[in-house]
Amino acid sequence: MSDHLPIFVFVSPFLAAICMPLIGLNNPGRCRPVALTALGTMFLLSVATLWRILGHGEIRYAFSGWAPPAGIEWVADEIAAIMVVVLSALAFLCLLHTGRETDTELGSRTVPYHAILLTLVSGLTGIVFAGDLFNIFVFLEIAALSGYALVGVSGGRALVSAFRYLIMGSLGASFYLLGVSYFYMATGTLNMADLAQRIPDLLHSKAVIGGLSFMFIGLGIKMALMPLHGWLPDAYTEAPDSVSPLLASLVTKIATLAWIRILYRVLAAGSSDTSLEIIGLLWVVGSLAAVAGSLLALTQQDLKRRFAYGGLAHIGLVLVGVGQGNQTGLAGGLFYLINDAVMQCLLFILVGVIARRYGARTLDDLGRIQLPPPWIITGFVVAAISMIGLPPTGGFFGKWYIVLSAIEKENYVAVAAVLVTTLLTMAYFMQVLERMLRGGQTGPSAQKIETPLQLRLSTGVLSAAIIGLGLWSDRVVQVLLQATSQLGL
């Protein structure tokens, strides 16, 4: 039974998504409790999967009894199990924090909203577990189609942003699928384990090089890697406040994880001169994205747009670590990816709270409202010190391992990029915190606005998770190091 756990993790939200129209047919108010139950069940199953894998090793699940490479295979290793725990937990908190406000705002769109949200979570889960390149494409598109719909669910200007997201996302999917076809033409297989056996002898093949280039461009669009990020700032800014935390914390992170898996599981990055050239390019692109994203964040007045660019910068930091081609960098990059997902979720929840309850969506608005309650300020401070990279938060230790990996490779340009990004991150957070703490004489008073319990609970759990990831960073990184020890780094 334990070997079926990855399937149960996927089926929990997927089955609820399929049944949602029937569940909400006569009473749309049932949708939210059912969705929360499905995501809570998914989280418990994810924890059980992680426990099983840590104790007994990875799970390889062949569908319908067809052995790979002929059949479809899912692979649940330590990295996949950790990411699914993070995914399910964040999805649950993103839905929990909005309370029934979302149902009131959406009206007749309540049922499709919950169905699409659960479909998005299912698609992201499939990306994490997929053991072949084509099924990564399938689940990328399931998640992307759900993302387009969620961005545009509120109508108005959000529809324009959703359409731009659709155009860019479709372009990225086309590039990725073209790259997959090149790989199949060169090797005759799409199973990742099988490809890993055949690719090393074909790294100089024009088909493989071309396919890799197309796949990198396609996934670069999906993970919003600069300069392929054009869809993201508007999508995050115009999306409903209940949707932005989910998109910011998960969509680009899972796409980044897909690229990391291809790079190290298929291409065996770091084990040959050709693959070293590939990852050498990766840290350069990541460094430029980290610095440029932080600079652009510093110039933004809209809070959601500012943190959207900040998220782009932190994707760049992940690639700086992954691009060092050593075990420390890969584990550090993955650890920072996990932390960034939690940090982005907390930030966008808090920005949405301030926008809905105080009408403050820009820096100038933030300076005119009265001092927010302590729990909002505390959440912002915790997120800020983690994204800046100060102890004892997980963000500090993530950056520490990334810098350490660059020093091991004597790559001081990468070290400088991390330090510059840190200083710029400090600058744009100081602007936000200064306006927030300075306060104003007009606007609603914090004491007169009732705060739902689930909202404070969500922000408290996320703040605690950021600090907890720092306090227990050794244990998490040790698991990641163990997971990457078989990659020949």
Q: pLDDT band at residue 488, thresholds of 50, 70 and 90? A: low
pLDDT for residue 461 is more than 90: yes
Let me know if residue 365 belongs to a domain: yes
Over residues 295-309, the mean pLDDT reads 91
For residue 375, the model assigns a pLDDT of 86
In a domain, 198, yes or no: no
Paired tokens of 88: 């399910």
pLDDT for residue 276: 53
Which SS3 state, helix, strand or coil, does residue 64 take? Answer: helix
Establish if 406 belongs to a structural domain. Answer: yes
Average pLDDT over residues 239-268: 87
**Mean per-residue pLDDT, 280-295:** 90
Return d(Cα 279, Cα 291) in angstroms, integer: 19
Answer whether residue 409 is part of any domain: yes
Flag whether 84 is in a domain: no
Residues 158-174: b if buried by 16+ CB within 10 A, e if exposed: beebbebbbebbeebbe
pLDDT surpassing 60 at residue 71 = yes
What digits encode the pLDDT tens for the residues 426-440?
999 998 888 888 765
Q: What is the pLDDT of residues 25-49, one digit of tens each?
A: 788 778 889 999 999 999 999 999 9
- Please tell me the predicted confidence (pLDDT) of residue 194: 86
- The predicted pLDDT at position 439 comes to 62
Give the range of the structural domain holding residue 410, as residue numbers without chain letter: 283-489
Domain assignment present for 28:
no
Quick one: pLDDT at residue 257?
Answer: 92
Pick the closest to residue 351 from 245, 255, 212 (CA basis): 245
- Give the per-residue pLDDT at 15: 94
pLDDT digits (tens, 9 = 90+) for 150-189: 988 877 788 888 899 999 999 999 999 999 999 988 888 8
Q: pTM for this one?
A: 0.91
Residue bearing the bigger pLDDT, 240 or 14: 14
For residue 23, name the pLDDT band (cuts at 50, 70, 90): confident
The pLDDT score that the predictor gives to residue 275 is: 54
In a domain, 479, yes or no: yes
* Three-class DSSP category at 245: helix
Cα–Cα separations (whole angstroms), residue 193 to 190, 260, 359, 390, 422: 9, 15, 52, 39, 37
Query: How many separate domains does the chain show?
Result: 1
Please give the average per-residue pLDDT across 352-379, as a whole number: 83
In a domain, 7, yes or no: no
Query: Per-residue pLDDT tens for 79-98?
Result: 999 999 999 999 999 998 87
